[in-house]
Amino acid sequence: MFGRGFETLQLHQKKYFEYLEYLEYLEYLEYLEYLKLNEKIVDNKEFGKILEIRTRKFALEIIQLSSSLPLSVEANVIKNQITKSGTSIGANYREANRSRSPKDFKNKIKICETETNETIYWLELILDAKWKQKDELSHILTEANELLALFTSIGNKLK
């Protein structure tokens, strides 16, 4: 119906959005470096914004990983599971930041913790199935473990 021109337009749009995400990611890395260099103390609101960006980037990495897994019935199960758990971390954290009460906030943080732990399980399963090499997943596993530590710490500090 739309022909080759439409496919080309979609490809250009995809590359443009990938470029915008890459620029946003670079800005985020520069900001983190700035914080480290200046030993700036970050308030809760600023920390929340940083963690929202971080969980969104993590979700995008999970989606990219999921789309690169093999095409099989078994892999499709894992793709579905890791995509659900890996993307829900950021969605639940965003909800936590807009919660109506401290109890609601704590509940959402505990969900983030659970979903992060589940995502780590699926990542380990992908390694065990030898669908990806350890060096291919080292960055995303490190990020997942750091997120788990953050959400565990936040959850434990709440009353």
What is the three-class DSSP state of 87?
A: helix
Look at the alpha carbons of 122, 128, 134, 136 in this order and tell me if their dihedral is positive or negative: negative
- Judge if 24 and 53 occupy the same domain: no
- Judge if 57 and 10 occupy the same domain: no
- Judge if 107 and 129 occupy the same domain: yes
Residue 73's domain spans which residues?
A: 43-157
- Judge if 148 and 95 occupy the same domain: yes
Number of other residues whose CB lies within 10 A of the CB of residue 90: 23
Tens-level pLDDT at each residue, the chain (159 residues): 445 554 555 555 566 556 566 667 666 666 666 655 555 555 677 788 889 989 999 999 999 999 999 999 999 999 999 999 999 999 999 999 999 999 999 999 999 999 999 999 999 999 999 999 999 999 999 999 999 999 999 999 886
Query: What pLDDT, on the 0 to 100 scale, is given for residue 1?
Result: 45
- Judge if 55 and 115 occupy the same domain: yes
Query: What pLDDT, on the 0 to 100 scale, is given for residue 44?
Result: 74
Domains contained in the chain, number: 2
Query: What pLDDT, on the 0 to 100 scale, is given for residue 2?
Result: 47
78 vs 47: CA distance, rounded Å: 32
- Judge if 151 and 129 occupy the same domain: yes
- Judge if 100 and 148 occupy the same domain: yes
- Judge if 94 and 140 occupy the same domain: yes
31 vs 89: CA distance, rounded Å: 22
- Judge if 75 and 91 occupy the same domain: yes
Amino acid sitting at position 2: F
- Judge if 69 and 102 occupy the same domain: yes
Q: Closest Cα to residue 143, out of 35, 34, 59, 26?
A: 59
- Judge if 50 and 84 occupy the same domain: yes
- Judge if 34 and 59 occupy the same domain: no
